[in-house]
């Protein structure tokens, strides 16, 4: 039983603040992802939870116990590193057994546990091999196995899938998620790949430059990003951003992008109250833009195809509207060559209006 | 609290041990340095004098001998400057040759597929396994026959030969670390392999060359046995000249220590200048990606 | 402007990833991708074309003249390495100028070309910086700049996007494609990422262990893979495969897998003719399968939910079909719990059948 609670956690390296007053609560048995670009403080946070770094300020609680002064060994956690860190001179079985030797179990018990873990991870066949003889996927599973074998309170994973090729990564994502659900262990997972986070996590903590941006379930992070950074970071292809100025004309409240205008009158109360400036950023995801080769309605905006990227049964079109470049997803059957003209409409329910100055999402 | 107490005790013990080791290693150098500033009287005082008035007379003795001549007491220059010049010339030349050729050879070993490459590398390494002094007599005979006795070139060739194997091995490690894509990009850009080497690989190899140069320099600078055996007056190096000081009126420790301090200076200065490159250079080649 | 042609090229000696009897013809201005897993020999082919490796047998033609014995400098090709290979001790300006300096062009011309290329790639503000101070994306653009500045006959790209983070990779894909189109040079591009290959190429050569499996346009490769390997390699998530046997019963033909059968009476002629025996593999893409809570047609198959992977704009449902994992694309808000029973239906026109022994496509 292990909740992990982080209170006002701060870490400074000299003058640089790597982690800034982080507050986070990881529920027991859940998988929480620390997501963010490199340098955002996620690995530092993980290392502080592990005990490999000492916090400058703040407290870390594992299972309601303050663990700041405990060494990593005393915290009953297991960590899987980005580079597996397997002992090259030992066989897979010996690698798996190694953490247990420190715990003074009998030889019999150790063997049983190793067998058990090997079965769960489908690595029973390679128990007698050495790390240099393993494929990347197998090595990764051994690294995970070595973490599981101890049955710690909390699992910490530091970008474990980054070094695998695309296909293996896709496979391991599903496996890891299933494994975590089966084992029912509290897991904290660090990654910069937003797809991994969305696929696997129960909750995602998006971080940027040491500060927590949003901590929520994946659907909310995707559908209701709190600010510009989160909106732009989650989603592939990424959300389109269009700079606009809010103007009033003919009693209507419009967002003017320089090339086209969008009537936002129905949201005018909310917008007028919450906007700190009339410079806004219009955010809309590629899948919420409908593109057609002919004009759909009076509000359709025309655009020129800049690049077409076919992806099997769909295609990503990059469209040029004046100085803006917008991406949209269309079925592969649509005729869209470079330079041709298309008309687009935005799905009005899925628009995000972001305040230019504060970068927070209003709608 | 427990944890920090234990930590402090361990730290103190570690500190004491390091301090003791440092004292043991540094003391001879300290002693030499201090002695060079003492008068003869102070030098032999028992118990040893820690505080004394320093004198520069030993340093003057290094460069000037005071003779009784027909003019009375006149100072004449010693030959120390010649010996110093010899040492510098011979050492720097051999270092330049061994690092230069060593780097080129290392590049070939690193980039090209040669038949029996491993055998060659082992062979080169094996020349270091032999204590140089084992070949002292044969070298002496060879040199005498070839007329290389008492020549600068003789010692330069000798030191180059000793250092070359070391240089090849050191530099191969460094060059292995330099991605070959750099010179490949240069070749695609339009440079021949040699120009690509000079333009793309060499700048990256400089730190390794600096580190290698320092080690080769130290070896050549301090070499005694071969220099003693092969040199006459013209090619004599400083270490040999120091050994000969003994022959005169008792052992002039002041003169010896002062000479040593002077002789030490160039190497210390050189290493100090290369310091930045040295640390990076020593560990660089050892870490395999 | 040049065709590149490889005729029966073999490279075995001293090559980590050998190439056998490789024949390929890239048309002028065409963007051809060498796609394959690591070890398939795509980098070897690239290096052979560049002149960094010597052929064992066969010929390489650049612009219809034999290039076998030419040095890299004489072949007039440009290469962008996976690790960019920028000269670390030279500024961006000097890096870009390097190919022109090698050809001893006058300084004023060099200056003009460097500024022009920097403009196109939007790196003009970085001209005085050293590579060590650049971000991954910036370094990559400098590497591309160094390649295009000479206006060579052929561009060779060796997995240039692999070292970039996910967001930048998506962005640079579109940029590279657009750039190639604008500059109009023959391009040979090696990658293991099939999404890159699909979105950017005019034609893809799928490689495995030194041989070409199929050389066609992306849509043909996607819709009509010639064999099992190509079908499994292209497409994210990958095609689902089920082992089955062809049998006839009561005047009808079936493909029989362990837990279900599919009526293939209308295809029986083709299957009997082209199949070497009755052991076959059924292939269907995740996007060509529909999921419902009850059977839709009499060919619907009952399965059990393994795990649900949300992916932002849609989700992947992993199902347990006769002990194997079967992936289906489902809409974003699809809800399913592990262990639930659902029914899947295949889109018949999109089914593929492969001969199990030879791997070749039957349908």
Tens of pLDDT, residues B225-249? 888 888 888 888 888 888 877 655 5
The confidence band for B286, taking pLDDT boundaries of 50, 70 and 90, is: very low
Give the closest of B113, B179, B192 to C85, CB-based: B179
Q: Which chains touch B (3 or more CB pairs under 8 A)?
A: C
A318, closest residue in chain C (CA to CA): C174
- pLDDT of B289 reads 29
Cα separation, B87 vs B155, whole angstroms: 10
The confidence band for A87, taking pLDDT boundaries of 50, 70 and 90, is: confident
DSSP structural state of residue A67: -
| A95 three-class SS | helix
Q: Which chains touch C (3 or more CB pairs under 8 A)?
A: A, B
Global pTM value: 0.75
pLDDT tens for C278-335 read: 788 888 898 888 888 887 777 778 888 888 888 878 888 888 887 788 889 888 888 8
Q: Are B186 and B199 in contact (CB under 8 A)?
A: yes
Counting one residue from chain A and one from chain C, the pairs whose CB atoms sit within 8 A come to: 99
- pLDDT of C20 reads 85
To test the contact with chain C by mutation, choose from A309, A337, A340 the residue with the greatest count of C C-beta atoms within 10 A, namely A309
Question: Does residue A346 carry a pLDDT above 70?
Answer: yes
The residue ranking higher by pLDDT, C17 or C187, is C187
Burial class, B122, CB count within 10 angstroms (exposed 0-12 / middle 13-18 / buried 19+): exposed
The confidence band for B280, taking pLDDT boundaries of 50, 70 and 90, is: low
Chain C hits for A199, Cβ within 8 Å: 309-311, 316
Helical (H) or strand (E) element with C178: helix C166-183
pLDDT tens for C8-42 read: 888 887 667 788 888 888 888 899 999 988 778 88
CA dihedral C100, C102, C106, C110 (to 10 degrees): 20
What is the DSSP track for B219-281?
HHHH--HHHHHH--STT--HHHHHHHHTTSSS--HHHHHHHHHHHHHHHHHHHHHHHHHHHHH
Q: Do C81 and B185 touch (CB under 8 A)?
A: yes
**Radius of gyration of chain B measured on its C-alpha atoms:** 24
Rounded mean pLDDT of B244-261?
76
The confidence band for B221, taking pLDDT boundaries of 50, 70 and 90, is: very high
Structure tokens at A140: 């990764």
Rounded (10°) angle between helices B152-177 and B117-126: 130
pLDDT tens for A181-215 read: 888 889 999 998 888 898 889 999 999 888 899 99
Question: Does residue C61 carry a pLDDT above 60?
Answer: yes
Neighbours of B194 (CB within 10 A): 9
- pLDDT of B216 reads 92
C182 part of contact set with chain A, CB < 8 Å:
no
Rounded mean pLDDT of A44-66?
87
The confidence band for B160, taking pLDDT boundaries of 50, 70 and 90, is: very high
- pLDDT of A169 reads 82
B contact residues 93-122, partner C, Cβ 8 Å cutoff: 113
- pLDDT of B14 reads 92
Average pLDDT taken over every residue of chain A: 83
Chain C hits for B179, Cβ within 8 Å: 83, 85
Q: Are A234 and A198 in contact (CB under 8 A)?
A: yes
**C-alpha distance from residue A93 to each of A97, A131, A136, B213 (Å):** 6, 10, 17, 47
Neighbours of C7 (CB within 10 A): 15
Burial class, A304, CB count within 10 angstroms (exposed 0-12 / middle 13-18 / buried 19+): middle
Strand segments, DSSP code E, in chain A are: 4-13, 16-26, 31-35, 57-62, 65-66, 77-80, 154-158, 186-191, 203-208, 211-216, 240-249, 252-256, 261-263, 279-284, 289-292, 301-310, 314-321, 324-331, 341-346, 352-355
Neighbours of C191 (CB within 10 A): 23
Question: Does residue C259 carry a pLDDT above 60?
Answer: yes
Q: Do C309 and A173 touch (CB under 8 A)?
A: yes
Give the closest of C85, C103, C146 to B184, CB-based: C85
C99 part of contact set with chain B, CB < 8 Å:
yes
Q: Do A309 and C199 touch (CB under 8 A)?
A: yes
Cα separation, A170 vs A161, whole angstroms: 9
C81 part of contact set with chain B, CB < 8 Å:
yes
- pLDDT of B11 reads 87
DSSP structural state of residue C266: G
pLDDT tens for B38-83 read: 887 777 777 777 777 788 888 887 887 776 667 777 777 788 888 8
C276 part of contact set with chain B, CB < 8 Å:
no
- pLDDT of B156 reads 92
- pLDDT of A129 reads 84
Q: State percent of chain C over pLDDT 70.
A: 99
Question: Does residue B108 carry a pLDDT above 80?
Answer: yes
The residue ranking higher by pLDDT, B163 or C321, is B163
Candidates C183, C184, C160; CA nearest to C173 is C160
Q: Do C195 and A287 touch (CB under 8 A)?
A: no
Chain B hits for C52, Cβ within 8 Å: 184, 187-188
Q: Are C149 and C182 in contact (CB under 8 A)?
A: no
- pLDDT of B105 reads 93
Q: Do C165 and A37 touch (CB under 8 A)?
A: yes
| Least confidently predicted of B57-66, B133-142, B210-219, C311-320 | B57-66
| C274 three-class SS | helix
Candidates A253, A249, A245, A247; CA nearest to A270 is A253
Q: Do C88 and B191 touch (CB under 8 A)?
A: no
Residues in chain A: 363
pLDDT tens for A4-20 read: 888 888 888 877 888 88
Q: Do C285 and A313 touch (CB under 8 A)?
A: yes
Question: Does residue C241 carry a pLDDT above 60?
Answer: yes
Candidates C146, C173, C145; CA nearest to C159 is C173
C83 part of contact set with chain B, CB < 8 Å:
yes
Q: Do C72 and B188 touch (CB under 8 A)?
A: yes
Q: Do C14 and B113 touch (CB under 8 A)?
A: yes
């Amino acid at each position: 039983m292990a909740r992990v609670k982080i209170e006002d956690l701060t870490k400074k390296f000299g003058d640089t603040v790597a982690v800034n007053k982080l507050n986070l609560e990881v529920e027991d048995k859940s998988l929480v992802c620390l997501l963010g670009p490199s340098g955002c403080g996620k690995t530092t946070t993980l290392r502080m939870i592990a005990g490999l770094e000492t916090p400058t300020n703040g407290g870390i609680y594992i299972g309601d116990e303050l663990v700041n002064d405990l060494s990593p060994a005393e915290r009953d956690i297991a960590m899987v590193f980005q580079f597996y860190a397997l002992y090259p001179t030992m066989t897979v079985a010996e690698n798996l057994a190694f953490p247990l030797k420190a715990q003074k179990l009998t030889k019999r018990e150790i063997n049983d546990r190793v067998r058990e873990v090997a079965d769960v991870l489908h690595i029973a066949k390679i128990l007698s091999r050495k790390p240099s003889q393993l494929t990347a996927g197998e090595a990764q599973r051994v690294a995970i196995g070595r973490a599981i074998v101890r049955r710690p309170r909390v699992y910490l994973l530091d970008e474990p899938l980054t070094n695998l090729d695309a296909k293996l990564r896709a496979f391991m994502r599903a496996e890891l998620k299933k494994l975590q659900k089966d084992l029912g262990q509290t897991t904290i997972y660090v990654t910069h790949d937003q797809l991994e986070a969305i696929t696997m996590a129960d909750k995602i903590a998006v971080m940027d430059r040491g500060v927590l941006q949003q901590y929520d379930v994946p659907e909310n992070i995707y559908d209701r990003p709190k600010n510009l950074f989160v909106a732009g970071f989650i989603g592939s292809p990424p959300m389109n951003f269009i700079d606009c100025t809010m103007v009033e004309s003919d009693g209507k409240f419009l967002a003017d992008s320089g090339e086209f205008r969008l009537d936002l009158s129905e949201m005018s109360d909310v917008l007028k109250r919450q906007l700190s400036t009339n410079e806004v950023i219009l955010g809309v995801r590629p899948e919420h833009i409908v593109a057609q080769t002919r004009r759909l309605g009076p509000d359709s905006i025309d655009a020129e195809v800049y690049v077409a990227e076919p992806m099997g049964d769909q295609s990503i079109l990059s469209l040029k509207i004046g100085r803006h470049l917008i991406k949209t997803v269309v079925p592969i059957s649509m005729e869209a060559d470079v330079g041709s003209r298309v008309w687009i409409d935005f799905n009005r329910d899925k628009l995000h209006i972001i305040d230019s100055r504060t970068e927070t999402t209003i709608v | 609290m427990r944890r920090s107490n234990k930590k402090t005790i361990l730290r103190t013990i570690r500190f004491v041990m390091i301090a003791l080791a440092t004292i043991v290693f540094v003391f001879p150098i300290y002693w030499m340095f201090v002695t060079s500033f003492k008068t003869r009287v102070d030098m032999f005082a028992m118990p040893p004098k820690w505080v004394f008035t320093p004198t520069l007379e030993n340093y003057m003795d290094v460069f000037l001998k005071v003779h009784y001549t027909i003019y009375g007491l006149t100072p004449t220059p010693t030959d120390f400057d010649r010996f110093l010049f010899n040492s510098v010339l011979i050492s720097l030349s051999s270092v330049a040759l061994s690092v230069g050729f060593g780097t080129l050879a290392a590049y070939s070993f690193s980039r090209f597929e040669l038949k029996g490459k491993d055998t060659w590398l082992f062979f080169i390494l094996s020349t270091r396994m032999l204590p140089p002094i084992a070949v002292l007599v044969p070298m002496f005979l060879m040199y005498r026959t070839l007329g290389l006795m008492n020549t600068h070139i003789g010692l330069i060739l000798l030191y180059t030969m000793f250092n070359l194997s070391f240089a090849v091995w050191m530099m191969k490690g460094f060059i292995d670390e330099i991605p070959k894509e750099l010179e490949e990009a240069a070749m695609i850009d339009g440079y021949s392999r040699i120009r690509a080497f000079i333009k793309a690989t060499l700048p990256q190899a400089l730190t390794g060359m600096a580190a290698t140069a320092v080690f080769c320099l130290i070896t050549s600078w301090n070499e005694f046995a071969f220099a003693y055996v092969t040199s006459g007056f013209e090619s004599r190096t400083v270490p040999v000249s120091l050994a000969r000081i003994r022959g005169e009126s008792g052992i002039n420790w002041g003169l010896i220590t002062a000479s040593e301090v002077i002789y030490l200076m160039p190497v210390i200065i050189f290493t100090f200048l290369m310091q930045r490159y040295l640390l990076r250079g020593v560990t660089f080649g050892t870490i395999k990606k | 402007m040049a065709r590149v042609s490889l005729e029966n090229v073999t490279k075995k000696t001293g090559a980590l990833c050998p190439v056998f009897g490789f024949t390929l013809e890239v048309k002028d201005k065409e963007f051809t991708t060498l796609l394959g897993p690591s070890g398939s020999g795509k980098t070897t082919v690239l290096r052979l074309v560049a002149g960094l490796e010597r052929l064992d047998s066969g010929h390489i033609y650049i612009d219809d003249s034999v290039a076998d014995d030419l040095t890299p400098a004489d072949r007039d090709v440009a290469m962008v390495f996976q690790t960019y290979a920028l000269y670390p001790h030279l500024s961006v300006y000097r890096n870009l100028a390097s190919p022109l300096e090698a050809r001893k062009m006058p300084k004023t011309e060099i200056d003009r070309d460097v500024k022009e290329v920097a403009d196109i790639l939007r790196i003009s503000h970085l001209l005085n910086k050293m590579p060590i101070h650049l971000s991954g994306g910036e370094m990559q653009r400098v590497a591309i700049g160094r390649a295009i500045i000479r206006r060579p006959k052929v561009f060779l790209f060796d997995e240039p996007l692999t070292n970039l983070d996910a967001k930048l990779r998506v962005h640079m894909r579109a940029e590279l494609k657009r750039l190639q189109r604008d500059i109009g040079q023959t391009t040979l591009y090696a990658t293991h990422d099939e999404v890159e290959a699909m979105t950017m190429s005019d034609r893809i050569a799928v490689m495995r262990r030194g041989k070409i499996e199929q050389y066609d346009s992306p849509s043909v490769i996607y819709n009509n893979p010639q064999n099992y390997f190509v079908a499994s390699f292209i497409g994210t998530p990958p095609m689902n495969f089920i082992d089955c046997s062809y049998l006839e019963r009561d005047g009808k033909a079936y493909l029989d897998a362990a837990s279900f059968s599919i009526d293939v009476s209308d295809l029986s002629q083709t299957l009997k003719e082209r199949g070497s025996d009755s052991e076959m593999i059924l292939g269907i893409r995740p996007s060509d399968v529909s999921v419902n809570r009850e059977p839709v047609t009499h060919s619907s198959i009952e399965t059990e939910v393994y795990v649900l992977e949300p992916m932002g704009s849609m989700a992947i449902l992993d199902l347990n079909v006769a002990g194997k994992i079967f992936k289906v694309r489902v809409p974003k808000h699809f809800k399913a719990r592990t262990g639930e029973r659902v029914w899947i239906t295949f889109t018949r026109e999109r089914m593929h059948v492969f001969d199990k022994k030879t791997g070749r496509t039957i349908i």
